[in-house]
Amino acid sequence: MSTGQRTATVLHYDPSDPAVQADPYPLYRALRETDPLHWNPPGFWFLTRHRDVHALLRDPRLGADDGTGGGAEESGRTGGAQTERMAGGDTPSMILMDPPGHTRLRALVNKVFTPRSIAHLHGRIERITDRLLDRWAPGEEGDFVADFAYPLPLEVICEMLGVPEDDRDDVRDWSEDMAHLVDPVVTPQTVARGLRGRRRIVEYFSGLAAERRRAPGDDILSGLIRAEAEGDRLTSDELLSTAALLVVAGHETTANMIANGMLALLRHPGQLELLRSSSGTALVPSAVEEMLRYDGPAQAVGRRALTELEVHGVRVPRGSRLVLSLGAANRDPERFPDPDRFDVTRRDNRHLALSGGAHFCVGAPLARMEATIAFTALLRRHRRPELAAEPRWRRRTGLRGMRELRVRV
């Protein structure tokens, strides 16, 4: 059995490479076939096969990556809960916690983020969608990201949290900055930007929470303040950390999900026509699942080995960092036939785009609802949208999304 680092390979996973950011899937394929447990010199193991990623997402021997695992500090890179504490708070985001802390926080959040409360948002999401589409006349060209994909989930999550309209542009900017902290691979520069964003969001919600304590509303922030499970409540730090997380998770990931899905449709006109011509766009829910599988917004999640374990005959020491590639796992031919084919009718599409295990995305029902409403309305109004220019991708390592997507409707 091997120990420690493996011998060097000609392949190297560099998530900052513009070519990888534009299309990471050829590299994923090569790593999956030849080096499924890839040692990355900055100090982490990169896993690409579906069976490995699926199993390790649920493996109790792995914990959330809190930035203290092997390799992160030595490489001059950091991340996770450690960087969040540097931002001035003692409580990291729920996604960076292990049981029992994670279990406790998730139970309290679930008291508010219920299927019933999400279902009640259906009409509000439709109205926001229609309002955004009203600005885009047939024949016009626009930036799908800036004009639709980003403002839609931002409006939804801000309404849910009770953020006034005048403050939403600021919240969007801080959210975009803070999103760098959830990347599994970060640099000192991206950490600094992420910390600034988190600090501003926490300061903002500190003031808003004080207002809600004086005059509660029917928004989620008021609900989190009231939430109680077995006599327990959120502390002030936990409340602010959770609100900040909901902004990023409810905005960044859903925006990228909608934009990436639109690009997939535009690059596969046959699938776009099939979806458009389906009775009442009945295929939209199936198409949304395929969008998530084919080019999901979350490409990777970080984990930390709580004990020594063996993967592919290699000893992974306790404290090691592992980056589980959701994007690579979702293109694994062992799990998905013809995985590089975009197929809105694909069956048995149990992808990993929304993670798995204890950290399965708490906002998954909301994200699916938003995307379903968005594409149903979009295809009803604009029957043959076209790609007007090649997309420009954001420089992210974990969240995959575009800075600009020019579309003619």
Question: Tens-of-pLDDT digits for all 409 residues of the chain?
Answer: 444 444 444 578 887 788 888 999 999 999 999 999 999 887 899 999 999 999 999 999 999 885 543 333 333 343 443 444 334 445 677 888 888 888 888 888 888 888 888 888 999 999 999 999 999 888 899 999 999 999 999 999 999 999 999 999 999 999 888 888 877 677 788 888 889 999 999 999 999 999 999 999 889 899 999 986 667 889 999 999 899 989 988 888 999 999 999 999 999 999 999 998 887 778 999 999 999 999 999 999 999 999 999 998 899 999 999 999 999 999 999 999 999 999 999 999 999 999 999 889 888 999 999 999 999 999 999 888 999 999 999 887 788 999 999 999 9
What distance in Å separates the CA atoms of residue 165 and residue 154, rounded to the nearest whole number? 10
CA end-to-end span of the chain, whole Å?
57
DSSP state of 268: -
pLDDT given at position 90: 52
What distance in Å separates the CA atoms of residue 57 and residue 76, rounded to the nearest whole number? 26
The residue assigned the tokens 């091997």 is 2
pLDDT given at position 66: 58
pLDDT given at position 174: 92
Query: Which domains, and CATH codes, for the chain?
Result: 2-408 (1.10.630.10)
pLDDT given at position 248: 86
pLDDT given at position 54: 97
What distance in Å separates the CA atoms of residue 214 and residue 204, rounded to the nearest whole number? 16
C-alpha 12 chain-centroid distance: 24
Which of helix, strand or coil describes residue 332?
Answer: coil
pLDDT given at position 7: 42
What distance in Å separates the CA atoms of residue 386 and residue 266, rounded to the nearest whole number? 6
What distance in Å separates the CA atoms of residue 151 and residue 259, rounded to the nearest whole number? 11
Give pTM, 2 decimals. 0.89
Can you read off the two tokens belonging to residue 269? 């006109």
pLDDT given at position 86: 38
What distance in Å separates the CA atoms of residue 81 and residue 90, rounded to the nearest whole number? 9
Which of helix, strand or coil describes residue 304?
Answer: strand
Helical (H) or strand (E) element with 2: strand 2-3
What distance in Å separates the CA atoms of residue 307 and residue 315, rounded to the nearest whole number? 11
Which of helix, strand or coil describes residue 175?
Answer: helix
